[in-house]
Structure 1
Amino acid sequence: MTGGTAGIGRQIAAKLRSAGLTVLVTGRDQQRGAAAAADLGATFLSADHATIAGNLDLARRVRELAPRLDVLVNNVGGAAFPQRTVTAEGHEATLALNYLGPIVLTRALLPTLTADARVVQVVSSAFTMHSGDPFTEPAGYTAISAYARAKQLNLLATLSLARQLTGDATVNAVNPGMAWTPGVQALTPQSVPAWRYIWPLVRMIQRRAAPEKAARIPALLALHPDGTGRFYESDGKAKPLPQRLLDPALQARAWQTAVDLTSPPSPTGPEHPRKE
């Protein structure tokens, strides 16, 4: 359970614990994470989710603690960078946190997934805000535009993975809906310029959105999915995607692009995910 020490992630982790699962939660802050894990009855793992090295190190430690995984929930993410930021590895930071990181971690943990494993990618309705080529960074950085593009790429890659793991695991994406989380609290009018004139109203609505409610559908998909390769809205219903996002070639490209950007080229050509 990535990003499981506060907000929606913590509420999902609590629901998984209530269902009897042994839960590992991740976060950046060691002190807060340890306290949250103790309260949940979970195990805390510190992680730098914005770097490839950080996600690979996390995967190594997860494999040591849990050689077999029933559930992987990639929840960590957000429009966390008000100004365009580049990681030490050379990736635009919002893209790294919301797209490259979750795919790297998922890919590294594929061999640990059990026969009926469930993978849940937490995305956002913001993916609909990006209408251009998802493989081209928009000109004129804003936090929300970078976030929308990254979540769209995450969604596309997730659908590709679902197709390639058919029969081995269920893989779904979900928009949990609005919630008053630390990430949302940190937003500014500069993060979402279109909201700057109605910012007080937006904040009033956001404050009323409970993380516990937003956690319900992601937790349900982690415990009792009714299919694979679907996008779910916060009401629990599988929703159709825009036609252009249904292209299997586009989805496969999103998966392969993440692989290509985060690992040395393979002499055998494009990778096809496979559990060992």
Structure 2
Amino acid sequence: MELTGKTALVTGSTGGIGRETALLLASAGASVVVSGRDAERGARTVQSITEQGGRARFIAADLTDLDSLRGLAEAAGDVDILVNNAAVFPGAPTTDQDVASFDSTLATNIRAPYFLTAALVPAMIAKGAGSIVNISTMATRIGMPGLSVYSATKAALESLTRTWAAEFSPAGVRVNTVAPGPTRTDMVLSTMGEDGAAQVGKTTLLGRVAAPREIAEVVLFLASDRAAYITGATIAADAGRTAV
């Protein structure tokens, strides 16, 4: 298996894209650190992995709390693959956006991956190898009403991908982004609703919403040595929505 002997940390991996990514990385041989705020959901993800013969453990963390974030980094130890997936997805017109939700979104979507990466990447650099995959969104490329804060934070994360690639890749650490289109996750459905997500799905060239597993497959590719010559890139996994 292509990830045998490697350790992967996936934030926000108790559901949605993060959970499917954790399952796929484990099936490829990685020892996976599952992270999130809900211990019960985390235990279910770990159980799903171990029942399939994989290796995983759960570390609870609130990424809006810098002490909790530091604790996660320390407990995870040296990792070979970091997937910055955890995010919040507020939906509000700019004129209705409240400050508390704004600050929480920046803390989760930007500050957390920034300082978690800063904590974990030195060990990757010391080994001369590593892969960091950030999860963004197609909303960084197209204007979508109500997603001003979310899309802005993800655009910043894509900018960090390019900067981190410039900083870390000469030492052997690759950094890339996956930018999904509409995906059937609890977070998307709770914000857009089933009908809203379906309508956005119809605007893609394939005319449908993605399954979380389809996005996770792209993350697995970027994390693996099959993508050894790819760094600083943002891969659109949006059924062509931003291509036309």
Work out whether the TM-score is over 0.5.
Answer: yes
Deviates more, 1:54-63 or 1:202-211: 202-211
- What whole-Å deviation, never above 9, does each CA across 1:153-179 have from its counterpart, x for those lacking one? 111112101101122201111113321
- The residue aligned with 2:137 is 124
1:65-97: CA deviations, max 9, x gaps?
A: xxx22111111113146552438xxx7111111
Task: State the SS of the aligned residue for 2:177.
Answer: strand
- Rounded to whole Å, the distance in 1 between the matches of 2:197 and 2:157 is 30
Q: How far does residue 209 in structure 1 lie from its aligned partner after superposition? A: 2.6
Which secondary structure does the structure 2 equivalent of 1:186 belong to? helix
Give the distance between the partners of 1:21 and 1:50, measured in 2 at CA: 27
In the alignment, residue 234 of structure 1 is paired with which amino acid? A
- Equivalent residue, structure 2, for 1:38: 47
Map of 2:82 onto structure 1: 72
Alpha carbons of structure 1 residues 200 and 171: separation in structure 2 relative to 1, 3 Å? closer
Q: 2:199 aligns with which of 185, 198, 202?
A: 202
Superposition TM-score, scaled by structure 2 size:
0.77
Task: Report if aligned partners of 1:178, 1:214 keep a CA contact under 8 Å in 2.
Answer: no
Question: Which string of whole-angstrom CA distances, capped at 9 and with x for unpartnered residues, describes residues 127-151 of structure 1?
Answer: 1246xxxxxxxxxxx8510001101
**Aligned position for 1:110:** 121
> Paired residue for 1:12, among 4, 11, 21?
21
Q: CA deviation at 1:180?
A: 0.8
1:177 maps to which residue? 181
- The residue type paired with residue 89 of structure 2 is A
Cα distance 1:157–1:8, how it changes in 2: closer, same or farther (>3 A)?
Answer: same
Matches within 5 A, 1:254-269: none
1:187 maps to which of 165, 186, 191: 191
Count of matched residue pairs: 214
Matches within 5 A, 1:238-249: none
Instruction: Flag structure 1 segments of 5+ consecutive residues without an equivalent.
Output: 131-141, 190-197, 241-276
* SS in structure 2 at match of 1:50: coil
Residue 265 of structure 1 corresponds to which residue in structure 2?
A: none
* Residue aligned with 2:180, SS: coil
CA distance, structure 2, for counterparts of residue 21 and residue 106 of structure 1: 19
Does the residue aligned with 1:77 lie in a helix, a strand or coil? coil
| Structure 1 contact 51–97 (Cα < 8 Å) conserved | no
Regions of 4+ moved over 2 Å = 50-54, 80-87, 198-209
Give the counterpart letter for 2:128 in structure 1.
A
Question: How much does 1:54 deviate?
Answer: 2.8
Contact 1:217/1:235, CA 8 A, preserved across alignment: no
User: 1:199 is matched by which residue type in structure 2?
Assistant: G
Amino acid corresponding to residue 211 of structure 1 in structure 2: P
**Residue type of the partner of 2:29?**
G
CA distance in 2, matches of 1:214, 1:73: 13
CA-CA distance at 1:50 after TM superposition: 2.6
1:60 alignment partner, one of 68, 74, 81: 74
Q: 1:220 to 1:200 in 2, by over 3 A?
A: closer
State the partner residue of 2:160.
Answer: 157
CA RMSD between the two structures: 2.9
TM-score by length of 1: 0.69
Q: Check the 8 A contact 2:90/2:149 in 1, yes or no.
A: no
Distance across 2 between alignment mates of 1:203 and 1:34: 33
Contact 1:80 1:183 (8 Å CA) reproduced? no
